[in-house]
Amino acid sequence: MKTVLLIDDDKNILTTLEIHLEEMGLAVITAQSGEEGVQAFAEHRPDIVFLDLKLPDTDGLSVLEAIMAAQIRTYVVIVTAYAAIDTAVKAIKMGAFEYLAKPFTPDRITHLVRMIERVHSLESEVKSLRDQVRGIVREGDFLTRSKKMHGILKTARQVADSTANILISGESGTGKGVIARLIHDWSPAKAGPFITVDCTGLHENLLESDLFGHVKGAFTGAIKEKTGKLELANNGTVFLDEVSELTQPIQAKLLHFLQHREFEKLGDPRPIQVSVRVIAATNRNLEEMVKENLFRQDLFFRLNVVEIFMPRLRERPEDIPLIAEHYLKKFARENSRPVRKIDEETLRLLQSHTWPGNVRELINSIERGTVLSRKDRLTPEDLPPHIRDQIPGQERDEDLVSLSEMEKIHIRKVLARAESLEAAARILGIDPATLWRKRKKYQID
């Protein structure tokens, strides 16, 4: 409980509340009209709002409605005259927490804020117990209920407080970047920098100077001195993303650094010493690359002191609904969309898709669906066609469905690919009128 927003056009009330709440250690923001209030709410996302129902420009209840629609965890206290208790009760039915009848004493405010704090801490405790019962682990936006992943997080925590180099491997979009960041945040160097080096994409010379830096005139185009990322990461962590893409000469220089903890800037032979934790990530099989002489074995061993392997999303299907629902709420809130839930059929489709792009692909699909949806539920129509129209042969045994379910899936797939309704009916071997009836029956549009 840190920030309070006061929405009231009565200057006296604003000042009384403001002084008292600030004495209680809360940061106070004030607004004198409904419009100003809604704007300040969106900007500051306060923990508590004191809202007067009688405002000069708008009806207080519509301000309350806007606050509730934002789906941000906020406690709203309605400030009201005794005569307007009926409206206050209505406001509570709409989701306000309590009302404060005028005139009020400072004690009453203290009591209210303490009560809100107590309720808030109980609600947080219930949430975390509920997570525990369901086996859910949350680290900011990173969540999982997969046993395998719990083991990985445990390893990550254990190695975080060492200086050991870590190699994170796993398919694209499995969360390698997030784990690297968590390890840094759990490490003694958490106050230090976390610097990412993207080992793909940059031309070899550029990558070399990106990592090690250069002095003025070191090569054509080096018009200014540049500090390398290894130096910038001093007392922190350097994250070498897609490390498999390093060329042989850079691999050699990096190995030298890992052996001696010092390196040279391009164009300057004086060694620079730094204290940097190295975390590398790859979506290729580095061990195989070593066998094929594409990656130095000695460098592989140096990087791979601890190996963390991120499982694919399809190997932890229990995470699919969890992550999907989390991002659905997030995107609905950010885009003010009415969608709140994912319907069963859609969840089933999400769980039987193979997710080659892993969590990133799942998040993108949910974002797309949430933004397109105008309903309160996410339905199959909101999914990208390739997920909606899965080829039945790819389904897993536990997803075996009834004949009519299969018919529905198949019709949807054919409709998505056929040029016209007539063409779809021809492919399906039924007449267009039958197809029309079946579409209606299965609510396919």
Contact positions vs Mg ion (CB under 5 A) = 177
Q: C-alpha 358: how far from its chain's center?
A: 14
CB-based contact 195:156 (threshold 8 Å): no
Which C-beta is closer to Mg ion: that of 177 or that of 432? 177
Dihedral pair phi/psi, residue 364, rounded to 5° = -60, -40
Least distance to Mg ion, CB of residue 359, Å: 11
Residue type for position 85: I
Could you say which of 22, 23, 43, 141 contacts ligand ATP (CB under 6 A)? 141
Using rule CB under 6 A, residue 143 touches ligand ATP? yes
Return the range that interacts with ligand ATP (CB under 6 A); candidates 120-128, 167-175, 192-200, 288-296. 167-175
Helix axes 344-352, 319-335, angle to 10 degrees: 120
Which C-beta is closer to ligand ATP: that of 357 or that of 432? 357
C-alpha to C-alpha distances, 181 to 74, 178, 426, nearest whole angstrom: 29, 5, 54
88: DSSP letter = H
208/261 Cα distance (integer angstroms): 17
Half-sphere exposure of residue 362: CA atoms within 13 angstroms, side-chain side:
30
Contacts of residue 88, defined as CB under 8 A and 6 or more positions apart, other chains included, come to 53, 78, 80, 96, 99, 101
**Interacting partner of 359 out of Mg ion, ligand ATP, none (Cβ under 5 to 8 A depending on kind):** ligand ATP
**Interacting partner of 80 out of Mg ion, ligand ATP, none (Cβ under 5 to 8 A depending on kind):** none
Which C-beta is closer to Mg ion: that of 109 or that of 182? 182
Could you say which of 97, 142, 186, 442 contacts ligand ATP (CB under 6 A)? 142
Which C-beta is closer to ligand ATP: that of 185 or that of 345? 185
Which C-beta is closer to ligand ATP: that of 154 or that of 440? 154
Using rule CB under 6 A, residue 359 touches ligand ATP? yes
Least distance to ligand ATP, CB of residue 315, Å: 13
**b/e string for 371-404 if b means 16 or more Cβ within 10 A?**
eebeeeebbbbbbeeebbbbeeeebeeeeeeeee
Could you say which of 283, 306, 325, 333 contacts ligand ATP (CB under 6 A)? 283
Residue type for position 384: P
Which C-beta is closer to ligand ATP: that of 87 or that of 144? 144
Using rule CB under 6 A, residue 176 touches ligand ATP? yes
Could you say which of 37, 46, 60, 173 contacts ligand ATP (CB under 6 A)? 173
Least distance to ligand ATP, CB of residue 364, Å: 9
Using rule CB under 6 A, residue 172 touches ligand ATP? yes
Distance in angstroms between the alpha carbons of the first and the last residue of the chain: 47
Helix segments in 84-175, DSSP class H: 85-93, 106-133, 147-160
Least distance to Mg ion, CB of residue 184, Å: 14
178/141 Cα distance (integer angstroms): 9
Using rule CB under 6 A, residue 175 touches ligand ATP? yes
Which C-beta is closer to ligand ATP: that of 170 or that of 228? 170
Least distance to ligand ATP, CB of residue 310, Å: 6
CB-based contact 327:369 (threshold 8 Å): no
Using rule CB under 6 A, residue 376 touches ligand ATP? no
Return the range that interacts with ligand ATP (CB under 6 A); candidates 24-32, 137-145, 205-213, 336-344. 137-145
Could you say which of 4, 363, 411, 435 contacts ligand ATP (CB under 6 A)? 363
Using rule CB under 6 A, residue 178 touches ligand ATP? yes
- Bridge-partner residues for 226, per DSSP? 214
Least distance to ligand ATP, CB of residue 171, Å: 7
What does the block give as tokens for 443?
């609510």
Contacts of residue 322, defined as CB under 8 A and 6 or more positions apart, other chains included, come to 136, 143, 144, 145
445/439 Cα distance (integer angstroms): 7
Contacts of residue 207, defined as CB under 8 A and 6 or more positions apart, other chains included, come to 197, 199, 246, 247, 250
Q: Would you mind telling me the total number of residues written for the chain in this entry?
A: 445
Could you say which of 30, 87, 165, 174 contacts ligand ATP (CB under 6 A)? 174
Please, which of residues 217-256 interact with ligand ATP by CB under 6 A?
Answer: none
Could you say which of 95, 106, 177, 317 contacts ligand ATP (CB under 6 A)? 177
Least distance to ligand ATP, CB of residue 186, Å: 16
Residue in the structure block whose two tokens are 């309070």: 4
Least distance to ligand ATP, CB of residue 357, Å: 8
81/314 Cα distance (integer angstroms): 57
Return the range that interacts with ligand ATP (CB under 6 A); candidates 6-14, 348-356, 358-366, 381-389. 358-366
Using rule CB under 6 A, residue 360 touches ligand ATP? yes
The three-state secondary structure class of 266 is strand
- Enumerate binding residues for ligand ATP (CB under 6 A): 141-144, 170, 172-178, 283, 323, 359-360, 363
